Amino acid sequence: MIKVMHVVGARPNFMKIAPIVREMAAHQNTFQQILVHTGQHYDRSMSDVFFEDLAIPEPDVNLEVGSGSQAWQVAQIMLRFEPILLEHRPDWVIVVGDVNSTIACALVAAKLNVRVAHVEAGLRSFDTSMPEEINRILTDRISSLLLTPSEDANENLRREGVNESNIVFVGNVMIDSLVQVLPKATMRQAELLAQINAGTRYILATLHRPSNVDDPERLKEIVQALNRIAGDIPVIFPVHPRTRQRLADMQIDIANSIYLIDPKSYIDFLALQTGAALVLTDSGGIQEETSFLGIPCLTLRPNTERPITITHGTNRLVPPGEDISSAVFDSLETKIIKKPSPMQLWDGRTAQRIAQALISTSLTT
Ligand code: UD1
């Protein structure tokens, strides 16, 4: 029996852990699972609805950490996770992605000599002004098993001197969730669009990165660009709680044809992506989802840790300084965004390979 403790904390973790939990549950004689939610995200729309859409079992433990500064949040997660880990003493702690919960729990586990498996290892933006980049580098450094989504991630790890035997190229686990839920999203689309009432040709926008929303000048520039875009084509904008706070603090007119709505569930957001003429985002995962779906994506960042979405997918970066509305209009008019080419091992079977990698590594060490 291999005893694994899964850690989730924030919205982008849930679609990554769901297929792994399901796969391991199908091998009950091999895996014993414990699911820990740190509580980094706690609003119903940022957490509970994802458990429902993705049929993730109730967490066994919720650390109920909540929001705070980077240091406070990481420290609180560590303090609350340590006794849980000592109580259960798993063989492995499985962490996903690059959020504060990922590094905090990986660090606690590594210090207690519990092996860490990092899902989505090896991604690098080479921009340490992003908290996520620091989380990625440090988590990879202390993980025993580095489960990578793409060849560029393998190369990054090799360049950093990681032992080849610790790297397993498993593919993109988020695509497992996407392909599983896509039929439901397709069925849901018409009803959802009727509710929002923005029509069927629209831009989908999401924004939450500190670099875009915490600086009032930058946020103003983006909202003004959205206003110009919305003069031509409606913009559906599910608003992250962080962004909602920042917008409320600002005195700025927002066009009526920008539909500010609450954050959407996984199925609903997928439905909105599949119907969009173009997606404008600063998210990491959405770059991958749009690339897989073949929907044009413009990413409001100077860099990406997911270069495969540019080389193989539909993603294009719009760095600060570049005119956002022109980039959108150019993409819509000239359809310059290319067709995606297949991304290796983004095939809906990554969770199987992850489970297999854990079995193989547990047997050989
Ligand atoms: C976190 C991740 C980011 C990920 C994003 C997805 C880190 C460093 N960042 O950023 O990589 O892309 O999640 O959403 O881990 N808030 C609520 N309700 C919630 C959660 C947050 O109101 O359920 C508000 C709080 O005011 C909080 C702010 O949003 O201070 C930011 O939340 P936080 O978890 O610190 O980071 P995110 O911006 O969500």
Q: Which residue has the tokens 């519990």?
A: 114
Rounded distance between C-alpha atoms, residue 248 and residue 5, angstroms:
39
- Tell me how far apart the 2 most distant CA atoms of the chain are, in Å: 61
Q: Is 10 in the pocket of ligand 1 (CB under 6 A)?
A: yes
Pocket probe for ligand 1: among 7, 40, 174, 206, the residue whose CB has the most ligand atoms within 8 Å is: 40
Show the low-confidence residues of the chain (pLDDT under 70): 335-339, 365
Please report the pLDDT score of residue 337 as a whole number. Answer: 57
Please report the pLDDT score of residue 338 as a whole number. Answer: 62
Please report the pLDDT score of residue 325 as a whole number. Answer: 98
Please report the pLDDT score of residue 324 as a whole number. Answer: 98
The dihedral built from the CA positions of residue 12, 16, 19 and 22, taken in this order, carries a sign that is negative
Angle between helices 350-364 and 11-25 (to 10 degrees): 70
pLDDT tens string 156-192:
999 999 999 999 999 999 999 999 999 999 999 999 9
Please report the pLDDT score of residue 335 as a whole number. Answer: 60
- Residue minimizing CA distance to atom 33 of ligand 1: 67
Question: How many CB atoms are closer than 10 A to CB 299?
Answer: 24
pLDDT tens string 331-356:
998 765 566 789 999 999 999 999 99
Selection from 302, 271, 306, 275 nearest residue 291 by Cα = 306
Q: Catalytic amino acids?
A: 208
Contact status, residue 108 vs residue 81, Cβ threshold 8 Å: yes
- For 180-305, list the strands marked E by DSSP: 203-205, 235-238, 258-261, 278-281, 297-299
Contact status, residue 119 vs residue 98, Cβ threshold 8 Å: no
Contact status, residue 141 vs residue 124, Cβ threshold 8 Å: no
Q: How far is the CA of 281 from the centre of ligand 1 (A)?
A: 16
Rounded distance between C-alpha atoms, residue 91 and residue 31, angstroms:
10
Contact status, residue 280 vs residue 203, Cβ threshold 8 Å: yes
Q: Is 255 in the pocket of ligand 1 (CB under 6 A)?
A: no
Contact status, residue 184 vs residue 30, Cβ threshold 8 Å: no
Q: Is 14 in the pocket of ligand 1 (CB under 6 A)?
A: no
Q: How far is the CA of 77 from the centre of ligand 1 (A)?
A: 14
